[in-house]
Amino acid sequence: MYEFILLVAVVVLALLAVALFYVHRRQTSSIHNILHLVSSLTRGGHSRRADSTVPGVAGELARAVNVLADEMGGRSAQAQLDKDHLISLLAMLDHTNEIAIATDNQDCIRLVNPAAARVLDRSLDQLMGQKLDHILEQPELLTLYRQAFSSNKPVSAQIALSTATQPFTPGGRTIHCQVTAATIYNGSHYRGTLLLMRDITEVVRTLQVRTDFVANASHELRTPLSNIRAAVETLKDADIPMDEMSKRCVDIISNHALRLQMMVQDLLDLSRTEDPRAVVRTDRLDLQLVCDAVMGMYTTQAGEKHVQLLVDIGSGAGALPGDERLLTLTLKNLVDNALKFTPTGSVTIRSYIQAQAADTAGASASVVVEVADTGCGIPEEDQQRVFERFYTVNRSRGGADRGTGLGLAIVKHAVAAMGGQVELESELNRGTTVRCVFPYRNGHGSEAAAAVGP
C-alpha cells in the first residue's frame, strides 16, 4: 500500500513538473514574442500581435502590448493620411500665384510659399522663423491679422499695398490684394494664423476704367439731354398749333428725356459712390437737420398723394459721424423709392441706437437710420436682388414711375463707403423698411454709449 501511494506521488510530481515546464516554456516564448513585437513597433511595423491567451503576467503584458500596437497603428495611419494631405497642400501652394503665409502661436512664420517669397523679395529660408510684423509693415494687414484672432470665422478685406511700404514695391507700383486671415486651431488650442493674399490689381484697374467711363459718359450726356428737355418745354409752352399726334410725340419725348436725365444722374451718383478715390468725410452730422432737409424736398409730391412724411429721431441717436453728401443721397433715394410705391399712408425716417458686442474696432453700439413706408411691399423672391444695378420689381408695382433701378444700388455703396451696411424687411401689402446700420466709434459715441447703458 505504501509503495502504491509513493508511486502516485511520483507520477503527480512528474506531471506537475511537466506542466510547470510547459507553462514556463509558453510564458518564455510569449515574452520573446512580446519583445519581438515591441522591437517591430519601434521600427514602424504595426501588423504583428502577441498571444494574449497565455495565463499569468505574460498574458496581461501581451494584451497591453496588443492595445498599444492597435493605437500606434491607428496613429500611424492617421499620420500618413495627414502627411499626404500636407504634401498635396504644399504642392498646391507651390504652384499657385496666391500669397500664403502661416504663423505659429508666437506670430513666427512657419509656412510660406514661393509666391510670397517673390513678392517679399526674400528667400524661403530668410522668411522661415521670422516674426510677421518684422516682414509685413503694412498697418492694414497687421490689423486684419489681429482681427482674425478675435473672430470665430475668417476675416477678409481689400488692401492696397502702396509703394511707400517696403517690401511691397516690385517695380515701384501699387498692388491691390484681396486678403483673408483665418486662425488655425488644434482642438481648442490656438496654433497660429493663415494669411492668403490674391493679387487683384488688374481687376481693380478694369473696374476703375469702367467707373471712369460711366462717369465721363454720363457727364457728357447731361448737356444734350438738358437741351432736349428745354426744347420740348419750349414747344409745349409756345402758342403753336399741333394736332393730337404731334402733342403725343412731344409728350413721349419729354417723358423719356426726363427718364434718361434721371438715369444719367443716378449713374453719376453710383460711379461717385463706387470710386475708391473719393474722399469720405467723417463730420459729426445732425440727423434732425439732414432728415428735415430731405423730407422738405418731397413735401409737394407727398401732399399730392396724401402720404404723411414723418421724422422720428430717437434718444441719443441725433448725431452720426459721416459724410453729409452720402447720407443725404442715401435718404433721398430711400424716400423717393418709398413714395413711388406708397399710394396712401406714411413714409417715416427714424433713427435709434442699437446695442451690440464690442468689436476690435472699438464700436460698442450702432446707430440705425431707417426709412419705413406703408406701401405695397416687395415679394420675397425679389428681396435679395433689389440692391443690384438696374433690377426692378414687377413693373405693375409702379407703372411708368418705377424709376431707373439704380436707387438701392446707390444706397448700398453710399452706406458701405461710410462703413455701414444695409438691411431690408418687407411684406406684401404691408410696407417696406430699409435699415442702414452705422457703427459708433470711440470718440464719437459717448452719447450713444450713455443712451444704451450696460
The CATH number of residue 165's host domain is 3.30.450.20
Q: Is residue 121 part of a domain?
A: yes
Question: Where is mean pLDDT largest: 143-152, 169-178, 316-325?
Answer: 316-325
Q: Are residues 85 and 138 in the same domain?
A: no
Give the burial string for 13-40 (b: 16+ CB within 10 Å, else e): eeeeeeeeeeeeebbeebbebbeebeee
DSSP secondary structure letters along 140-156 = HHHHHHHHHHHSSS-EE
Residue 191 has pLDDT above 60, yes or no: yes
Residues 54-101 have pLDDT tens digits of 666 666 676 776 777 777 777 777 767 766 766 776 676 777 778 888
Residue 373 has pLDDT above 90, yes or no: yes
Residue 360 has pLDDT above 60, yes or no: no
Q: Is residue 13 part of a domain?
A: no
Q: Please, which residues bridge with residue 103 across strands?
A: 109
* pTM (whole model) above 0.85: no
Q: Are residues 346 and 444 in the same domain?
A: yes
Residues 378-428 have pLDDT tens digits of 998 888 888 988 888 754 444 445 567 888 999 999 999 998 999 999 999
Q: Is residue 388 part of a domain?
A: yes
User: In the listed set 34, 64, 90, which residue is the last one of a domain according to the structure?
Assistant: 90
Q: Are residues 348 and 436 in the same domain?
A: yes
Residue-level pLDDT at 443: 44
452 vs 436: CA distance, rounded Å? 18
Q: Are residues 430 and 305 in the same domain?
A: yes
Residue with cell 450696460: 454
Residue-level pLDDT at 70: 73
Number of independent structural domains in the chain: 4
Residues 195-252 have pLDDT tens digits of 888 888 888 888 788 778 878 888 888 888 888 988 888 888 887 888 888 888 888 8
User: In the listed set 199, 217, 246, which residue is the last one of a domain according to the structure?
Assistant: 199
Q: Are residues 296 and 267 in the same domain?
A: no
Residue-level pLDDT at 296: 93
Q: In what order do the strands lie in the sheet with 431-440?
A: 307-313, 345-355, 365-373, 431-440, 421-427
CB 99 within 8 A of CB 117: no
Q: Is residue 1 part of a domain?
A: no
Which secondary-structure segment (H or E) carries 198? strand 189-199
Residue 320 has pLDDT above 50, yes or no: yes
Residues 253-293 have pLDDT tens digits of 888 888 888 888 878 888 888 777 777 888 899 999 999 99
Q: Are residues 51 and 149 in the same domain?
A: no
Which secondary-structure segment (H or E) carries 382? none
User: In the listed set 90, 111, 142, which residue is the last one of a domain according to the structure?
Assistant: 90
